[in-house]
């Protein structure tokens, strides 16, 4: 077994821990401190981390690794994501999902791709289910998918307040979220329900109804795309102040911003200013999703593809806008890991998985990526 000692890096766990040495053994962080003496015959590789930040690998709660799209017909399908692309972007943990199309793309396809990513060193997981109810599953039931398939953390992306949804009723959503929650309890997983929120005027109303009209704990409800329009964002502020998760999408393009979407970094600044607790906010890349623009009658105007590199880019942008590195890092590491119930991820500490990024302090450029204790870039 090879040991790696990263020496003299400034560690951000995301909290600043100062200059320390970090020992990696068997895919985990084995020791953290100063002045470790190692016997000369140990198989040790020393890495000079001086003048560098060492931060946790990024945790991305939504990536369409099998591609997505198709809202304008088959010519508009988006491509699959490569595991190497995720690692290059600093993403060492991600959760895969189906998008609008769950007919020509299937949960089995997502699971196969998740396992491909795992073989390449990415800690990949997935949501069972799909935009539309009744949801597509692997075993025929959401509960058994979550209980019996290790990679399945919860159910998602469930579409609400969107003309592309299946217009689910309150009772349908309540039953589905409850099933996922109970299965999560039994399997020792989060059993979280991840919601795609669209541009519909209903915004977060279906989730407020679940919060207020059922016994489902608030932390089971995880809405994404909360920065896509002003009315949804206003509701997200209240949702976050009440203790709910808020996920912001980092992939965007200028025309969407012209339509009222906010960049994730700017939305983060606004949420913090409005008094939303920092530890309730996460970013996701929506990698390889279609990013469609529709006209007032729901016709596709144009489409782009989500980018996994946007996750770190928006974290860097948030720092440039005055957000502390600790808070900005938390949004792409510790917070999503907690929302997803991944205890070994998102934080630098003894016993945690050795998913680490070496960062240049000035530019915050990613220089090296380690996942599972091995250097990948």
Residues 352 and 303 in one domain: no
pLDDT given at position 167: 92
Residues noted as catalytic? 286
**Is 140 within the bounds of a domain?**
yes
**Is 66 within the bounds of a domain?**
no
Mean pLDDT of the chain: 95
Residues 203 and 155 in one domain: yes
In the structure, what pLDDT confidence band is assigned to residue 71 with cuts at 50, 70 and 90? confident
Domain with 40 in it? 3-55+347-375
Number of domains observed in the structure of the chain: 2
Residues 28 and 91 in one domain: no
3-state secondary structure the chain: CCEEEEEEEEEECCCEEEEEEEEEECCEEEEEECCCCCCCCCCEEEEECCCCEEEECEEEEEECCCCCECECEHHHECCCCCHHHHHHCCEEEEEECCCCCCCCCCHHHHHHHHHHHHHCCCEEEEEECCCCCCCCCCCCCHHHHHHHCCCEEEEEEEEECCCCCCCCCHHHHHHHHHHHHHHHHHHCCCCCEEEEECCCCCCCHHHHHHHHHCCCCHHHEEEECCCCCHHHHHHHHHHHHCCCCEEEECCCCHHHHHCCCCCHHHHHHHHHHCCCCHHHEEEECCECCEEEEECCCCCEEEEEECCCCHHHHHHHHHHHCCCCHHHHHHHHCHHHHHHCCCCCCCCCCCCCECCEEEECCCCCCEEEEEECCEECC
Residues 352 and 243 in one domain: no
CATH number at residue 366: 2.30.40.10
> pLDDT (tens digit, 9 = 90+) per residue, 250-283?
998 877 887 889 999 999 999 999 999 999 999 9
What pTM, to 2 d.p., does this model score? Answer: 0.97
> pLDDT (tens digit, 9 = 90+) per residue, 128-149?
999 999 999 999 999 999 999 9
Mean pLDDT of 332-353: 98
Mean pLDDT of 239-250: 98
pLDDT given at position 117: 98
């Amino acid at each position: 077994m090879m040991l790696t000692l990263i020496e003299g890096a400034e560690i951000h766990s995301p909290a600043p821990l100062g200059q320390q040495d970090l020992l990696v053994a068997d895919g985990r962080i084995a020791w953290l401190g100063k002045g470790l003496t190692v016997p000369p015959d140990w198989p040790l590789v020393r890495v000079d981390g001086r003048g560098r930040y060492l931060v946790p690998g990024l945790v991305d709660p939504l990536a369409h690794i099998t591609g997505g799209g198709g809202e304008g017909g088959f010519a508009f399908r988006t491509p699959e994501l490569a595991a190497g692309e995720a690692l290059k972007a600093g993403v060492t943990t991600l959760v895969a999902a189906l998008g609008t199309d769950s007919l020509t793309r299937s949960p089995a396809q997502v699971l196969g791709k998740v396992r491909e990513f795992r073989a390449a060193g990415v800690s990949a997981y997935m949501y069972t289910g799909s935009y539309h109810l009744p949801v597509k599953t692997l075993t025929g039931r959401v509960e058994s998918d979550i209980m019996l398939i290790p990679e399945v953390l919860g159910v998602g992306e469930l579409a609400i307040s969107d003309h592309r949804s299946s217009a689910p009723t309150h009772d349908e959503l309540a039953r589905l979220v409850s099933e996922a929650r109970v299965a999560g309890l039994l399997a020792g997983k989060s059993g979280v329900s991840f919601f795609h929120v669209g541009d519909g005027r209903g915004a977060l109303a279906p989730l407020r109804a679940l919060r207020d009209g059922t016994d489902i704990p608030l932390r089971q409800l995880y809405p994404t795309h909360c920065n896509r329009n002003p009315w949804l964002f206003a509701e997200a502020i209240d949702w976050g102040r009440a203790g709910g998760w808020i996920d912001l999408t980092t992939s965007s393009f200028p025309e969407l911003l012209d339509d009222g979407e906010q960049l994730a970094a700017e939305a983060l600044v606004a949420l913090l200013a409005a008094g939303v607790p920092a530890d309730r906010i996460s970013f996701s890349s929506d990698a390889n999703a279609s990013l469609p623009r529709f006209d007032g009658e729901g016709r596709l105007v144009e489409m782009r593809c989500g980018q996994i590199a946007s996750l770190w880019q928006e974290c860097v942008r948030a720092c440039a806008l005055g957000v502390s590195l600790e808070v900005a890092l938390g949004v792409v590491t510790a917070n999503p890991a907690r929302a997803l119930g991944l205890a070994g991820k998102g934080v630098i500490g003894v016993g945690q998985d050795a998913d680490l990024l070496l960062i240049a302090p000035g530019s915050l450029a990613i220089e090296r990526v380690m996942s599972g204790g091995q250097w990948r870039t």
